[in-house]
């Protein structure tokens, strides 16, 4: 029930942004730095429609490092709708166990230009996660939904 309310909120947010004023903008060769929950990133616009991003997320003993590819549907607008994919490597050394793994994430989302230099973005999609403990070789695989 909580997740449904959240999805309604996201839908409302995205729709509201699209209805807002158009903000002509070209993302080519623009570099952006991002901070999120909890991650840091650096993003580079390759063309008006395509961007790549390097991302690192860190928790207690958990490190996630990877890259993203974005396809922007409407880069000239103030609210840019995008889709893309992410692949990241995971390493962990916490709770007396250590190991590594990977994640694959397909997403769709929106980036809202608050000003021409400051944006807010949110994406959602299915994630496939695979982890393996190094000493016992016990692994865990999980599919879930993620919003970032």
User: Which residues form the interface with another protein (CB under 8 A)?
Assistant: 3-4, 6-7, 10-11, 14-15, 18, 36-39, 57-59, 62, 64, 73-74, 77, 81, 83, 88, 90, 92, 94-97, 99, 101, 103, 105, 108, 110, 124-127, 129, 131, 133, 135-136, 138-140, 142-148
With respect to another protein, which residue has the nearer C-beta, 31 or 82? 82
Taking the complex as a whole, the smallest distance from the CB of residue 29 to another protein amounts, in Å, to 22
**Cβ neighbour number for residue 118 with a 10 Å cutoff:** 9
With respect to another protein, which residue has the nearer C-beta, 45 or 101? 101
d(CA 56, CA 101): 14
Taking the complex as a whole, the smallest distance from the CB of residue 114 to another protein amounts, in Å, to 19
With respect to another protein, which residue has the nearer C-beta, 117 or 120? 120
- Residue 37 CB contacts under 8 Å (≥ 6 apart), including other chains: 148
With respect to another protein, which residue has the nearer C-beta, 43 or 64? 64
d(CA 111, CA 105): 17
Element housing 78 (H / E): none
Q: What is the 3-state secondary structure (H, E, C) of 16-43?
A: HHHHCCCCCCCCCCCEEEEECCCEEEEE
């Amino acid at each position: 029930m909580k997740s449904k309310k959240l999805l309604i909120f996201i839908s409302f947010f995205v729709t509201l942004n699209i209805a807002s004023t158009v903000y002509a903008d070209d993302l080519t060769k623009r570099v952006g730095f991002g901070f999120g929950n909890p991650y840091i990133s650096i993003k580079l616009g390759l063309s008006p429609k395509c961007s790549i991003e390097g991302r690192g997320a860190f928790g207690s003993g958990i490190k996630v490092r990877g890259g993203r590819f974005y396809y922007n549907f409407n880069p000239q607008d103030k609210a840019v709708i995008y889709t893309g994919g992410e692949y990241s490597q995971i390493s962990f050394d916490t709770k007396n166990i250590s190991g590594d793994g990977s994640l694959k994430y397909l997403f769709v989302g929106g980036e809202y230009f608050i000003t021409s230099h400051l944006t807010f973005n949110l994406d959602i999609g299915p994630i496939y996660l695979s982890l393996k403990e190094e000493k016992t070789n016990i692994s865990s695989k999980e599919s879930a939904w993620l919003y970032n």
